[in-house]
């Protein structure tokens, strides 16, 4: 095997593609860790400031509301100013505001730091996805861009390690200090990162057209969004937006309230819950690798997204209703998230590669990241309102299992694009 598929893969990605992937991977895993820390701190924050679960849900929803606006701006600016500049700016600024959580002396100040830090961090997702899609070789684009999504479970696992190591002995504030280390790291990574040639080529062509028309700035937000809604791309845009929204209702609810679910419904301590989730997120990471391989070499990306979402819904339902021990919870939650979190590692390259380079970051933001933030805005409000009435199990069933089933159904309406071809072929 080492002389066949592995050597072919390494021969194709070695050098600039794998270096670029590694830079984006490190940046995303550190940024995701920063954002994950808030979910582990929720119980301690609630106690210190006397905030109810509903109030914490409102803070999360406000964060996602602002992020819904900022991610569009980030996507458009990335198509204007370049992928590299925006990568450094978003990573460094978001880490700064996350670190400031530790110094908040009121719930209002804490909420402000959370909202700003998260709004900046979310902008990294379409940026890094766009970079990897534009740099990776066509045959392995799905795998590299899929593996980039490993930063989500691994970032949460790293956050859980930090939280479980400090929460019990030092309290919630201390876990935010590591975010300050990410600030200089952002500039180091930016120094190593090169702008993508596809962006430079597209920017040169667009500027040339602008000069020919004697119009120094023909690029407008409305123009980019308008093209996404044009007859040529409308169906793709709507399907990707709605399907991503439904799947991330489940993902958003599970991501931010699994620690509370384990503590309140299953009677675990905060440290034990974080420790269990380290293993669950680790299991989930396997699904990302498997999904990217299946989507690249066995099924199409669209069909893999559908299958992974439906398998995730089934596993989650079984876990919620039949897992009655810590071991069963760890395995069940790990396998469940392995599928429905893993579907994201195929969905993100899919929604990025089927749009032209000139609007790729905007499309990734508008049809992908925007749907994620809107869903994640909605999920905390739904979860915190439903739990007192339905309990945790029924709440996660209605707002976890059902949305995943619906998301898979929506994605059946997307064209079944082939894998492993150049993005220019898919974005026609």
Q: What is the DSSP string of 6-27?
A: HHHHHHHHTTHHHHHHHHHHHH
pLDDT of residue 293: 86
Q: Kindly list the distances between the CA atom of residue 78 and the CA atoms of 72, 85, 113, 360, 373, in Å, as whole numbers in the listed order.
A: 10, 8, 24, 9, 18
Structure token pair of residue 5: 């598929």
Dihedral sign from CA coordinates of 81, 82, 86, 89: negative
If one counts every other C-beta atom within 10 angstroms of the C-beta of residue 343, the result is 32
Contact yes or no for 383/259 (Cβ under 8 A):
no
> Which of the listed CATH numbers 1.20.1250.20, 1.10.357.10, 3.40.30.10, 3.30.470.20 matches domain 12-211+223-426?
1.20.1250.20
Q: Kindly list the distances between the CA atom of residue 407 and the CA atoms of 104, 305, 332, 382, in Å, as whole numbers in the listed order.
A: 38, 9, 21, 18
Domain boundary assignment for the chain: 12-211+223-426
**What is the separation of C-alpha 23 from the centre of its chain, rounded to a whole number of angstroms?**
17
3-state secondary structure of 352: helix
Q: Which residues of the chain fall below pLDDT 70?
A: 1-6, 168, 204-224, 423-428
pLDDT of residue 210: 46
pLDDT of residue 216: 40
pLDDT of residue 246: 95
State the burial class of residue 159 (Cβ atoms within 10 Å of its Cβ: 0-12, 13-18, 19+).
buried
Contact yes or no for 375/245 (Cβ under 8 A):
yes
C-alpha closest to that of 391 among 274, 247, 267, 264 = 264
114 Cβ neighbours under 8 A, 6+ residues apart: 38, 59, 63, 101
C-alpha closest to that of 415 among 155, 195, 235 = 235
3-state secondary structure of 99: helix
Structure token pair of residue 419: 């894998």
Polymer length in residues for the chain = 428
Angstrom distance (rounded) from CA 419 to CA 277: 33
Q: Any idea of the CA torsion for 56, 242, 236, 67, to the nearest 10 degrees? A: -20
pLDDT of residue 428: 63
Angstrom distance (rounded) from CA 323 to CA 334: 12
C-alpha closest to that of 412 among 317, 316, 311, 309 = 309
pLDDT of residue 410: 97
C-alpha closest to that of 79 among 232, 219, 234, 229 = 219
C-alpha closest to that of 337 among 279, 264, 392 = 279
């Amino acid at each position: 095997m080492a002389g066949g598929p592995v050597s072919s893969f390494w021969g194709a990605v070695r050098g600039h593609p794998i270096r670029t992937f590694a830079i984006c991977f490190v940046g995303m895993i550190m940024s995701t860790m920063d954002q994950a820390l808030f979910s582990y701190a929720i119980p301690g924050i609630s106690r210190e400031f006397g905030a109810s679960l509903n109030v914490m849900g409102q803070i999360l929803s406000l964060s996602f509301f602002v992020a819904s606006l900022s991610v569009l701006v980030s996507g458009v600016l990335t198509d204007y100013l370049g992928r590299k500049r925006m990568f450094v700016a978003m990573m460094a600024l978001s880490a700064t505001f996350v670190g400031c959580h530790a110094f908040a002396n009121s719930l209002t100040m804490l909420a402000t730091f959370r909202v700003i830090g998260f709004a900046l961090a979310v902008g990294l997702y379409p940026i890094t996805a766009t970079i990897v899609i534009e740099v990776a070789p066509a045959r392995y684009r799905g795998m590299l861009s899929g593996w980039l999504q490993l930063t989500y479970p691994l970032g949460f696992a790293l956050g859980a390690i930090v939280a479980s190591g400090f929460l019990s002995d030092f309290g919630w504030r201390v876990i935010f200090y590591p975010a300050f280390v990410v600030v200089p790291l952002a500039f180091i990574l930016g120094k190593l990162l090169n702008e993508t040639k596809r962006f430079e080529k597209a920017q040169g062509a667009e500027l040339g057209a602008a000069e020919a028309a004697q119009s120094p700035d023909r690029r407008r937000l409305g123009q980019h969004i308008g093209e996404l809604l044009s007859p040529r791309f409308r169906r793709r845009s709507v399907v990707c937006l709605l399907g991503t929204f439904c799947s991330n209702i489940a993902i958003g609810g599970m991501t931010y309230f699994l620690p509370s679910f384990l503590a309140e419904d299953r009677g675990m301590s905060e440290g034990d819950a974080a420790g269990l989730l380290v293993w669950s997120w680790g299991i989930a990471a396997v699904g990302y690798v498997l999904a990217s391989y299946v989507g690249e070499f066995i099924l199409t990306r669209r069909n893999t997204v559908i299958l992974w979402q439906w398998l995730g819904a089934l596993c989650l339902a079984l876990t919620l209703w039949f897992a009655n021990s810590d071991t069963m919870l760890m395995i069940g939650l790990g396998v469940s998230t392995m599928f429905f979190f893993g579907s994201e590692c195929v969905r993100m390259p899919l929604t990025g590669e089927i749009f032209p380079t000139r609007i790729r970051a905007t499309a990734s933001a508008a049809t992908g990241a925007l749907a994620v933030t809107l869903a994640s805005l909605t999920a905390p409000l739904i979860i915190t309102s439903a739990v007192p009435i339905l309990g945790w199990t029924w709440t996660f069933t209605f707002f976890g299992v059902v949305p995943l089933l619906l998301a898979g159904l929506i994605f059946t309406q997307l064209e079944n694009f082939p894998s492993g071809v150049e993005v220019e072929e898919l974005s026609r």
